[in-house]
Structure 1
């Protein structure tokens, strides 16, 4: 074979290779675009199904925070006897039961929101234990809890509720 034949073959193959490369590039772009479109539609349909579950979880944890708000809790639950430690333990047990009842909600919530709710619960429990050592009777404990709440600007439950409201507004907004 001589060089003119090789050049002629190259001249025929070069446009074919170039056309094939451009076709491959456009075909790959199209396939990638279709894949991204499918992912978007799948995510959108999944989001549509999961959003109500997320909102329900936030609603349930809002109810938990409202039910475990110390002011509402001591008004709802009366002491069985005048021992402040027993009363504090009864309040703590109520909080723990409420929390255990809603443990599954953490699946649908952000880790930050769940952590804030857990910290709120622990702060309330710690506060009840601390205040129960300062009084002689369960009625005094109730009064001390209510006055302590009245003097605080922001309780842990209010802060947790505020965080939940912000997250929900981001979810639906």
Structure 2
């Protein structure tokens, strides 16, 4: 009886060890396959999303260029001589441009988006501030142009953020 038990163990033990080794090797193989597929999907998603992200950065760069006060004043002429009317026209233009591009924030980094919003708000506030000391729409234009000959528009900071982000994406 003891011999039969030893004989059974002699057959069962190698079969069990072989089964355990086969199980772990098969499990490791499946995990490697899953990892490779995940990496392929990530690479494919990155490849497909890069053009969309680049387009978002392009649009936001264009937004910054369009709300650059110097360029905006040259593009948007006053309809009347009233300072408040012209100020409202400029602010409405900025807000319209912003709302048109609002969805792009999902493709941008948080810091870049915050810099764009900060630039928009700073320009709006500066226009309001300069308008307080202006008596006509043409004087507002002149005062804003004079103000931005002394300092760079805040849009330049946002443009720098955009350019840095694009460089990171393309690396």
TM-score (norm 2): 0.90
Q: Which residue in the other structure is 2:128 paired with?
A: 129
Q: What is the Cα deviation at residue 63 of structure 1?
A: 0.8
Q: What is the Cα deviation at residue 104 of structure 1?
A: 2.3
Q: What is the Cα deviation at residue 134 of structure 1?
A: 1.8
Q: Which residue in the other structure is 2:39 paired with?
A: 40
Structure 2 counterparts to residues 52-131 of structure 1, below 5 A: 52-131=51-130
Secondary structure in 2 aligned to 1:102?
A: helix
- 8 Å Cα contact 1:83/1:137 also seen in 2: yes
Q: Which residue in the other structure is 1:19 paired with?
A: 18
Q: Which residue in the other structure is 1:155 paired with?
A: 153
Q: What is the Cα deviation at residue 7 of structure 1?
A: 4.7
Unaligned 5+ segments in structure 2 are none
C-alpha change, 1:146 and 1:3, in structure 2 (3 Å) is farther
Distance, in Å, in 2 between the alignment partners of 1:13 and 1:38 is 37
Higher alpha-carbon deviation: 108-117 or 59-68: 108-117
Distance, in Å, in 2 between the alignment partners of 1:19 and 1:143 is 87
- 8 Å Cα contact 1:85/1:133 also seen in 2: no
Deviations 1:118-160 (A, max 9, x none): 22111111111121112222222112211221212x4320010
Number of matched pairs: 171
Distance, in Å, in 2 between the alignment partners of 1:9 and 1:158 is 82
- 8 Å Cα contact 2:119/2:158 also seen in 1: yes
Higher alpha-carbon deviation: 9-18 or 121-130: 9-18
Where does structure 1 differ by over 3 angstroms across 4 or more consecutive aligned residues? 2-12
Distance, in Å, in 2 between the alignment partners of 1:143 and 1:22 is 82
- Say whether residues 1:169 and 2:167 are aligned partners: yes
- 8 Å Cα contact 2:87/2:128 also seen in 1: yes
Distance, in Å, in 1 between the alignment partners of 2:32 and 2:103 is 37
C-alpha change, 1:112 and 1:4, in structure 2 (3 Å) is farther
